[in-house]
Chains A and B, each alone.
Chain A
Amino acid sequence: METTDRVQNILMVGVGGQGVILASEIISEVMMRAGHDVKKSEVHGMAQRGGSVSSHVRFGPKVYSPLIKKGDADVLFSFELLESVRYLDFLRSDALIIVNNQKVLPPSVTLGVDSYPARLPEIMRERFSRVEIVDALDIAKQAGNVRALNVAFLGAFSRHFAVDENLWKEVISSMLTPKLVDVNIKAFMLGREKMNS
């Protein structure tokens, strides 16, 4: 996706504790350093205790609203399968969906009251033409640390934007504790390359 003069709307979703917020911080910082106006919004507090989490990231020449209007997201960047489907209302009809192939069971499912919905990738593909399913956990494992999952997944995201690779690396390095930088940069690059193959 070429970055145009129109504001780009990235909706990031997942489950509390998956690293959605850190990934959204990195994207925002990268886009600011790439010369864009940036706004992002999410909620903290009670909502984060293992609940459904969303972060709105918007960048372009001038951004007013910190929230994406329903039906206006260009990219759904989803860390969990069920959560992606929960937010489909937010997408433009030509939106790109990048989804991590992971299931985190909601409480009613772990209790055995509900079952985890089937055919989620198909449901997305029936409605949207561009759906990329990424096994971010596998990439993070290859990089040597499962906790680098969010940065590995960010690698897959990054190839859709005309931003210098070094800028991504620079920001990731500046936002993580020094001892985690190497493994995360490795995970980022693996994620970025994976999408090219």
Chain B
Amino acid sequence: MKVILSGNEAIARGAYEAGVAVATAYPGTPSTEILENMATYEGVYAEWSPNEKVALEVATGAAIGGRRALAAMKHVGVNVAADPLFTVSYTGIKGGLVIVTADDPEMHSSQNEQDNRNYAKFAKVPMLEPADSQEAKDYIKLAFELSERFDTPVFVRTTTRISHSKSIVELSEPKQRPATSALEKQPDKYVMVPAHARRRHPLVEQRIKDLEAFAEEFPENRVELQDLSVGIIASGTCYQYAREAFPGYSFLKLGMVYPLPKKKIKEFARQVKKLYAFEELDPFFEEQVKALGIEIIGKEVFPSCGEFDPGTAEQGISGAAGVEKKGAALPYLPPRPPTMCPGCPHRGLFYVLNKMNVFVAGDIGCYTLACLPPLKAVDTCICMGASIGHAMGLDKALGSEAHGRVVAVIGDSTFLHSGITGLLDVAYNRGACTVIILDNWTTAMTGRQDHPGTGMTIREEKTTKVDYVKLVKALGIKHVKKVDPFDLKKLNKVLNKELNRPEPSVIITDSPCVLYRRVEKGAQRPLLYVESSECIGCKACLQLGCPALEWVTLPVKESAALKKKRGEAFVNPTLCTGCELCSQLCKKGAIRKKDGDN
């Protein structure tokens, strides 16, 4: 049967068809839908792990037990999982172990655009890279076979344009796998004490040589000889772009991006006149081809930053000029960056933090958007869980200068991912930091996935739920306060008190994401409106940056007559959720609830 699938859907389907037993992930764009789809298949154990390191460890355990296992993560998630990765490369596995890394060239939803092909070389683990959804499905199955044949974890790398593009896929039935699982003790293989690891390392080096030999025969490393004046080495979506731009040129399409088929590359280079490496981000192929003593053109004509498209191939290879703008006289188009939703429980907190003019050590989640105007209340964002360490470092380095002026903000899912150890440091090493856990009951940014604090599994089964107050106290934090983030006065009071405390403290803002699906219906709040005759146009409410609040400019004469400052606020009823943050800011009481129940 033919269906249209995204790369992520195809990966899940491929793993299912390959008989995967255990699939794990922490959500992260562009990888999230892999596990969401895995959980829809019968007979697969799927979990949201607290972080990528745990995800890989659980998958590794399953593979040591002889079952097939998959761990999926975004590119930066591999950084978190890197510790087990480098050593499971030594131990190998019994059942197939596949790690999906979903890279994000262009940083559509990421903090950097690292090229994870480097991890394959660094950890000495083979890597496949599909170029569309059909290949995504096929390569997952190949990856499991390679993993078992060569006793190694195998990477499958996607990029955003593979994970989130859809194309046609032919489905097959899942394969029944013979039961090979068993608790089998093999300490010399799985206990990496130095004496054992020293014996494993040469096996890893030999494995890479064996894989190199395999790469020469691997049919997915495909030579397409056509016009021999130009040859292009490419993989993944880059192959598609170049093929689109130059359908007639010759190609070496690499399905396995590490290790490379050196003989095949030499042979291809001999056949074509001019050789290009067309690859996004790092010169990964280019450098290895150059090391073979072969002349190849790469980063001197193609960018190292951002994602490509067919135009990039044209510009780099035939020097085609970029597209001319259609008429120079386009008006200024106001940008449309992503924003926090109307009714978001984070908005009020960042409004208060902005007014307090404190330094906000930030973290990864929707709330990072509070760095934008008018809230402008996030001052760092580097990686998952980092906010607490940043606040601690500032506190220790600056002492009295930082005291009472630094807070860390971290979402519930991010705190459970990698914030707990940071907070442990604050408690243990007596930091005078205030840490705010923004508990919106879900992993909001990636599309509202469950986590250990939601009380639900990936399959929506009830499970145990973290008690943040008890957890934080157990770490050694004495002062913990829960607060409703829609009560601005209370928020202000609690923040002032905790910031000035010469001891560590935690504030938990407790209110569900406005898109949270488990809030009971009927809890609909009355919407707000601006009583036009009483709005003086002071713009105080607009400082919330709520998309439901609009500024309406009035003609000068009219404003003067109405004693307004050139305009008035307006609540867009199609966007308002009735959260009542804005009405708390209106000194004139001009923002009111509809239905007369003011």
Contact = CB atoms under 8 A, between A and B. Distances in A.
B369 A49 contact: yes
Contacts of B564: none
Secondary structure dominating the interface of B: loop
A195 interface: no
Contacts of B237: 65-66
A49 B542 contact: no
A180 interface: no
B547 interface: yes
B297 to A, nearest CB: 21
Contact of A45 (B132, B310, B326, B445): B445
B338 A50 contact: yes
A65 B309 CA distance: 8
Interface stretch (A67-75, A152-160, A181-189): A67-75
B550 A110 contact: yes
Q: Which residue of A39, A46, A86, A112 has the most chain B CB atoms within 10 A of its CB atom?
A: A46
A106 B166 contact: no
A111 B551 CA distance: 6
A30 to B, nearest CB: 10
Contact of B109 (A29, A47, A52): A47
A140 to B, nearest CB: 13
B168 interface: yes
Contacts of B178: none
Contacts of B240: 64-66
A10 interface: no
Interface stretch (B61-69, B90-98, B329-337): B329-337
B166 A39 contact: yes
Contacts of B109: 43-47
Interface in B107-128: 108-109
Given A44-B29, A47-B109, A66-B161, A114 B334 contact: yes
A49 B336 contact: no
A32 to B, nearest CB: 6
Contacts of A61: none
B255 interface: no
Contact of B550 (A70, A105, A117): A105
Given A45-B109, A105-B550, A111-B374, A15 B336 contact: yes
Interface string B138-166: 00000000000000000000001100111
A159 B335 CA distance: 32
Given A63-B167, A66-B161, A107-B547, A44 B447 contact: yes
Contacts, number: 173
A127 B327 CA distance: 7
B323 interface: yes
B4 interface: yes
Contacts of A44: 29-30, 32-33, 109, 164, 447
A50 B340 CA distance: 8
A30 B447 CA distance: 27
A31 to B, nearest CB: 9
B317 interface: no
A145 interface: no
B241 A65 contact: yes
A32 B2 contact: yes
Interface in A39-62: 39-52
A127 B245 CA distance: 26
B194 interface: no
B77 to A, nearest CB: 14
Contact of A39 (B132, B243, B336, B338): B132
B319 interface: no
A11 to B, nearest CB: 12
B362 to A, nearest CB: 14
Contacts of B2: 32
B14 to A, nearest CB: 18
A159 B283 CA distance: 46
22 contacts: A40-B167, A41-B164, A41-B166, A43-B160, A45-B30, A45-B108, A50-B336, A50-B338, A50-B341, A52-B336, A63-B167, A64-B240, A64-B244, A67-B309, A71-B311, A89-B326, A106-B335, A107-B336, A111-B542, A114-B332, A117-B333, A127-B326
Interface of A: 15-16, 25, 28-29, 32, 37-52, 63-72, 82-83, 85-86, 88-89, 91, 93, 105-112, 114-119, 123, 126-127
Given A44-B164, A83-B336, A112-B542, 9 more contacts: A32-B168, A41-B164, A43-B30, A67-B241, A82-B333, A107-B547, A108-B334, A111-B545, A127-B326
